[in-house]
């Protein structure tokens, strides 16, 4: 979709404003006839911050999707497995309730997939309902009667943390999905004389070469000059059964004002432990070996992190809107330094989850 921002007018803006108001945000009356003004931008930023999105005040695909999903509550509609999958806050709340009760609904991403279906059916069997996987009013009432402790640690987070200890990967032979951010029709932010998409491609291509040299199996999620949407990129990462996914971007002012930053999937109520660990290790190498400033690790609920089924991170080695870092990005060696550091972080993550080699047995006499 075309991003909608301050200065735009029309029915699309009115629709956004209606959804913002329904979510509890304030828009000044003089803008409510479809003018995207200062108060609408402020409301969008507040909504984005609450939902774990980059708070840039611009309504792009991620923000629009979250505005639509925020309008659903558990019980508003019957949920079941279908294609395309149901998405919404009702699905997220269902997943949260199931996880709190010990039924593993997977990542609380608001997408009704196969893992959520299995958790629903297991719950239905446990309460004596037909295990049809359909979440109607009867199943909703049964869930509410169980009074799940929503504040308890999510079963999905606990399971993922446990899985990290037995992942058994190692870099050699692992499929690493690499997402060069943006593309032909969406160049991203400007970093001096070059666009974010060009920088992301340069780093990603070098990262793929470096990982292949180390024995991994890198897969680029787009070709040079193309621009698939985030959902298509995530679907490809899932289709190749990637062990991890790394999306490469530049910072554009939504996070730290300067420095390399890494993001993992997360919302105000849950997060990916393995994604966070991968982000920490990559950032550590960007600071230690590439000599970049530390812009921190944080959660984001964007599509490439939400829809992938493996630990995933978004890496932003520099902030394009910072003049000093834009000059750094323009240096010929920057892409190589960044790619090498990211590869080091990936290798540390995968080797840490690989099973230790068994010590050699003593020779029998």
Q: Kindly indicate the confidence band of residue 198, based on its pLDDT and cuts at 50, 70 and 90.
A: very high
Question: Which of the listed residues 164, 188, 211 is the one where a domain comes to its end?
Answer: 164
Residue 198 near residue 153, CB atoms below 8 Å: no
Cα dihedral value 46, 51, 53, 56, nearest 10: -10
Residues 224 and 103 in one domain: no
Please report, rounded to a whole number, the percentage of residues in the chain having pLDDT higher than 90.
79
The SS3 assignment for 90 reads: helix
Residues 331 and 242 in one domain: yes
Q: 128: which residues sit within 8 A by CB, 6+ positions away?
A: none
Q: 163: which residues sit within 8 A by CB, 6+ positions away?
A: 274
* CA 271 to chain centroid: 10
For residue 258, the model assigns a pLDDT of 87
DSSP state of 307: S
Helices 114-126, 89-100: inter-axial angle, 10-degree rounding: 50
Q: Which domain holds residue 246?
A: 175-352
Residues 142 and 186 in one domain: no
Residues 32 and 101 in one domain: no
Residues 197 and 139 in one domain: no
Residue 359 located in a structural domain: no
CB atoms within 10 A of CB 35: 20
pLDDT at 357 over 50: no
Residues 152 and 191 in one domain: no
Residue 32 located in a structural domain: yes
Residue 189 located in a structural domain: yes
* Contacts of 76-82 spanning 24+ positions with Cβ under 8 A: 78/134, 78/135, 78/136, 79/112, 79/134, 79/135, 80/112, 80/117, 80/133, 80/134, 80/135, 81/112, 81/113, 81/114, 81/117, 81/133, 82/112
Residue 82 located in a structural domain: no
Q: What span, in angstroms and rounded, lies between the C-alpha atoms of 196 and 354?
A: 34
Residues 102 and 198 in one domain: no
CATH of the domain at 341: 3.40.630.40
Q: Kindly indicate the confidence band of residue 336, based on its pLDDT and cuts at 50, 70 and 90.
A: very high
pTM: 0.88
Reported as a single tens digit per residue, the pLDDT across 44-70 is 999 999 999 999 999 999 999 999 999
Q: Kindly indicate the confidence band of residue 215, based on its pLDDT and cuts at 50, 70 and 90.
A: very high
For residue 358, the model assigns a pLDDT of 47
Residues 250 and 322 in one domain: yes
Residues 260 and 346 in one domain: yes
Total structural domains within the chain: 3
Q: Which residue intervals of the chain are DSSP H helices?
A: 11-22, 38-51, 61-69, 89-100, 114-126, 137-146, 155-164, 196-213, 230-239, 273-288, 303-306, 323-329, 334-353
DSSP state of 30: G
Mean pLDDT of 288-292: 95
Q: What span, in angstroms and rounded, lies between the C-alpha atoms of 351 and 211?
A: 13
Mean pLDDT of 198-202: 96
Residue 271 located in a structural domain: yes
For residue 174, the model assigns a pLDDT of 96
Cis peptide before 84 (omega within 30 of 0): yes
Residues 231 and 294 in one domain: yes
- 312-316 vs 260-265, strand pairing mode: antiparallel
Residues 204 and 124 in one domain: no
CB atoms within 10 A of CB 68: 14
* Contacts of 91-94 spanning 24+ positions with Cβ under 8 A: 91/116, 92/267, 94/120, 94/135, 94/143
For residue 363, the model assigns a pLDDT of 38
Residue 311 located in a structural domain: yes
Residue 113 located in a structural domain: yes
Residue 74 located in a structural domain: no
Residues 65 and 99 in one domain: no
Question: Which of the listed residues 143, 164, 185 is the one where a domain comes to its end?
Answer: 164
CATH of the domain at 127: 1.10.101.10
Q: What span, in angstroms and rounded, lies between the C-alpha atoms of 292 and 157?
A: 31
How many degrees, rounded to 5, is the angle at CA 19 between CA 16 and CA 25?
A: 100
pLDDT at 11 over 60: yes
Helices 273-288, 155-164: inter-axial angle, 10-degree rounding: 50
Rounded alpha-carbon distances, angstroms, from residue 230 to 5, 127, 129, 251, 336: 20, 38, 38, 17, 25
């Amino acid at each position: 979709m075309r991003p909608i921002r301050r200065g735009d007018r029309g029915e699309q803006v009115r629709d956004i404003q209606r959804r913002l108001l329904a979510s509890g945000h304030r828009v000044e009356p003089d803008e409510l006839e479809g003018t995207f003004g200062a108060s609408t931008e402020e409301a969008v930023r507040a909504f984005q911050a609450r939902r774990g999105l980059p708070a840039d005040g611009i309504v792009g695909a991620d923000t629009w999707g979250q505005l639509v999903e925020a309008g659903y509550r558990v019980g508003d509609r019957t949920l079941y497995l279908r294609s395309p999958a149901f998405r919404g806050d009702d699905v997220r709340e269902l997943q949260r309730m199931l996880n709190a009760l010990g039924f593993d609904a997977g990542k609380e991403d608001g997408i009704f997939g196969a893992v959520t279906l299995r958790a629903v059916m297991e719950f239905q069997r446990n309460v004596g309902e037909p295990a049809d996987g359909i979440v109607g009013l009867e199943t909703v009432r049964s869930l509410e009667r169980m009074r799940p402790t929503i504040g308890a640690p999510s079963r999905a987070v606990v399971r993922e943390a446990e899985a990290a200890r037995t992942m058994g990967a190692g870099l050699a032979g692992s499929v690493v999905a690499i997402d060069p951010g943006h593309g032909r029709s969406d160049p991203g932010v400007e970093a001096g004389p070059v666009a974010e998409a060009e920088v992301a491609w340069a780093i990603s291509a070098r990262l793929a070469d470096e990982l292949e040299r180390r024995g991994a199996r890198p897969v680029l999620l787009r070709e040079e000059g193309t621009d698939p949407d985030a959902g298509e990129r995530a679907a490809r990462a899932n289709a190749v059964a990637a062990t991890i996914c790394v999306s490469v971007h530049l910072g554009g002012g939504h996070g730290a004002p300067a420095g390399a930053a890494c993001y993992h999937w997360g919302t105000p109520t849950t997060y990916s432990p393995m994604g966070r660990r991968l982000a920490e290790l990559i950032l550590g190498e960007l600071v230690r070996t590439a000599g970049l400033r530390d812009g921190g690790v944080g959660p984001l609920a964007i599509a490439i992190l939400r829809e992938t089924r493996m630990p995933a991170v978004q890496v932003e080695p520099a902030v394009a809107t910072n003049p000093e870092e834009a000059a750094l990005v323009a240096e010929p060696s920057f892409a190589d330094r960044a790619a090498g550091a990211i590869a080091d972080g990936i290798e540390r993550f995968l080797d840490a989850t690989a099973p230790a080699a068994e010590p050699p047995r003593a020779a029998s006499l």
